[in-house]
Amino acid sequence: MKTIPAMGKSWCAGVFLLLALAGTAEAGNDFFYTIKMRDGGDLKCEAVKPEDNGAMAFTRQGRTLLMSNNFYDYVATSRMPDAIAAAVRQLGAENPDYAALAVRFAELAKTYAYCGWDAFCQLKRAEALAADGEEDEAMTQLSGWEDKELSGPEYRQTAIEQGRLMLARLYVADGKRVKAVKVIDQLLASDNEGMATSAFNLLGDMLWKAGHEQDAVLCYLRPVILFDRSVTEREYALRRLSESLEKMGDARSKIYREMLQREYPAKK
Domain count, the chain: 3
d(CA 69, CA 242): 54
Q: Does residue 252 register a pLDDT over 90? A: yes
pLDDT, tens only, 169-179: 999 999 999 99
pTM of the model: 0.86
Same domain? For 54 and 118 the reply is no
Same domain? For 52 and 119 the reply is no
Percent of the chain with pLDDT over 70: 88
Counts for the chain of helices (H) and strands (E), in that order = 10, 6
Range of the domain at 67: 1-78
212, 194 in Cβ contact below 8 A? no
d(CA 76, CA 25): 13
Same domain? For 2 and 48 the reply is yes
Name the burial class of residue 117, with classes exposed (0-12), middle (13-18) and buried (19+) by CB atoms within 10 angstroms of its CB.
buried
User: How much is the pLDDT for 13?
Assistant: 33
pLDDT, tens only, 134-158: 999 999 999 999 989 999 999 999 9
32, 78 in Cβ contact below 8 A? yes
User: How much is the pLDDT for 171?
Assistant: 97
DSSP structure class, residue 63? E
| Nearest CA-CA partner of 185 in 171, 200, 172 | 200
Q: In what order do the strands lie in the sheet with 47-50?
A: 47-50, 56-60, 63-67
Same domain? For 166 and 89 the reply is yes
| Nearest CA-CA partner of 207 in 189, 194, 221, 195 | 221
Q: Residues 136, 139, 141, CA angle at the centre, nearest 5°? A: 110
The domain boundary residue, chosen from 78, 106, 130: 78
The domain boundary residue, chosen from 29, 45, 78: 78
Alpha helices in 210-252 (DSSP H): 213-226, 234-247
